[in-house]
């Protein structure tokens, strides 16, 4: 299994950009894609033929193993344009490391570092006009890998396709969300693939989330699969709880995704001298905190949403409203994070990655 390739990326440019057809003021998240995409195939034990080409459909057999055994992983990251027209990525090394960690868990060959970063840089430079200026605007970048070998035998594929798509984006969530704490369904279990960004993790969330939406909640806070005693993630995001002035979040494990936004918030909190506890968080302690008034905030954190405040949660058919805080940690961290991402402040952590 080769992690390297000596083949440079071939580039096929579009004859005419589609950017003039896009209404950037009315974007649906993840529905519009930029002019170019990246594609690379794994065959005969190595990644080969890395290519940037015009965005478009691909041809794949209905017998490709991805459709039958779910060998697929993905990442989510963003490019930002600052007030001077420079374009930045945010901690892309973390996304590279995590997609290979996810791939390893799903028996997918790891992708070469040099091709990953060369593809990112060339793609964003080619489609730089798709990165719109202004706070809240970004270019969402979706690397993913999938099994492409033809055959329905229950075994790992010997062929794979690695691709990168890019989609102009605005704010993912525009307001606070109401959530339901799961009492029956779980996102992941010990020894499973919860720590991987595997496609099936998200597909399995849709049904219980639909049930919650029927009751007026936008998301589910997932609990552990064993006893449903511990709070783990919120929807597709990591989740934080502020009890008095202490920030609580579940520790990284094989059930919890090692979120880039999550670890960035923890670093910002510690830099701001805010106490952070990475430990198992009991449902009962958060319910009690809501009752006695010490629960100040709940918020989700992820690349797409950045930070999404929770205005209320439901548990055992009781709804607990959460009052807005004047000294909101969610608002503070979101501003600090966005200021770094858009190059509007110093970057003491060296998180920014300059593209152009």
Rounded to whole angstroms, the Cα distance separating 268 from 199 reads 30
Cross-strand bridge partners of residue 179 = 219, 313
pTM, whole model, 2 decimals?
0.94
Express each pLDDT in 137-169 by its tens digit: 999 999 999 999 999 999 999 999 999 999 999
The backbone region for 184, taken as left when phi is positive above 0, alpha when psi lies in -120 to 50, beta otherwise, is alpha
3-state secondary structure of 99: helix
To the question of domain 10-169 being in CATH 3.40.50.720, the answer is no
Q: Which residue has the tokens 């993630």?
A: 233
Q: What is the DSSP letter of 150?
A: B
Q: What is the pLDDT, as a whole number, of residue 6?
A: 40
Q: What percent of the chain has pLDDT over 90?
A: 94
Task: Classify 218 in phi/psi space as left (phi over 0), alpha (psi -120 to 50) or beta.
Answer: alpha
pLDDT band at 308 (very low <50, low <70, confident <90, very high): very high
For residue 107, count other CB atoms closer than 10 A to its CB: 12
User: Per-residue confidence at 3, pLDDT binned at 50, 70, 90?
Assistant: very low
In the chain, which residues fall in CATH 3.30.470.10?
A: 10-169
Could you report the per-residue pLDDT of 80-118, keeping only the tens digit for each?
999 999 999 999 999 999 999 999 999 999 999 999 999
Q: Where do you find CATH 3.20.10.10 in the chain?
A: 177-341
How many Å apart are CA 108 and CA 180, to the nearest integer? 34
Give CA–CA dist 340/348, Å, rounded.
9
Question: What's domain 177-341's architecture?
Answer: Alpha-Beta Barrel (3.20)
């Amino acid at each position: 299994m080769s992690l390297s390739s000596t083949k440079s990326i071939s580039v096929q440019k579009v004859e005419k950009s589609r950017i003039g057809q896009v209404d950037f003021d009315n974007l649906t998240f993840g529905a519009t894609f930029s002019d170019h995409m990246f594609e690379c195939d794994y065959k005969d034990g190595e990644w080969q033929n890395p290519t940037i080409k015009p965005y478009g459909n691909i041809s794949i057999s209905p017998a490709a193993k991805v459709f039958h055994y779910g060998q697929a992983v993905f990442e989510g990251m963003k490019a930002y344009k600052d007030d001077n027209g420079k374009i930045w990525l945010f901690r892309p090394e973390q996304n590279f490391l995590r997609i290979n960690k996810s791939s390893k868990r799903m028996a997918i060959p790891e992708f070469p570092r040099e091709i990953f970063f060369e593809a990112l840089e060339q793609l964003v430079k080619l489609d730089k006009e798709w990165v719109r200026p202004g706070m809240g605007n970004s270019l969402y970048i979706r690397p993913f890998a999938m099994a492409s070998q033809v055959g329905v035998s229950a075994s790992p594929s010997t062929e794979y396709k690695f691709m990168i798509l890019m989609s102009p984006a605005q704010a993912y969530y525009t307001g606070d969300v109401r959530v339901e704490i799961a009492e029956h369904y779980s996102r992941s279990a010990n020894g499973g693939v919860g720590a991987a960004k595997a496609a099936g993790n998200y597909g399995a969330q849709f049904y219980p989330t639909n049930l919650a939406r029927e009751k007026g909640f936008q998301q589910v806070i997932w609990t552990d699969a064993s006893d449903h005693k511990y709070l783990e993630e919120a929807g597709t995001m990591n989740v934080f709880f502020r009890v008095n002035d202490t920030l609580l979040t579940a520790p990284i494990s094989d059930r919890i995704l090692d979120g880039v936004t999550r670890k960035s918030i923890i670093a910002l909190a510690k830099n701001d001298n805010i106490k952070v506890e990475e430990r198992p968080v009991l449902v009962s302690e958060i319910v009690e905190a809501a009752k006695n008034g010490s629960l100040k905030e709940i918020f989700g954190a992820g690349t797409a949403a950045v930070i999404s405040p929770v205005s209320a949660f439901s548990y055992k058919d009781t709804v607990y409203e959460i009052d807005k805080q004047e000294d909101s940690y969610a608002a503070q961290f979101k501003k600090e994070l966005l200021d770094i991402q858009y190059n509007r402040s110093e970057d003491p952590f060296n998180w920014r990655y300059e593209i152009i």
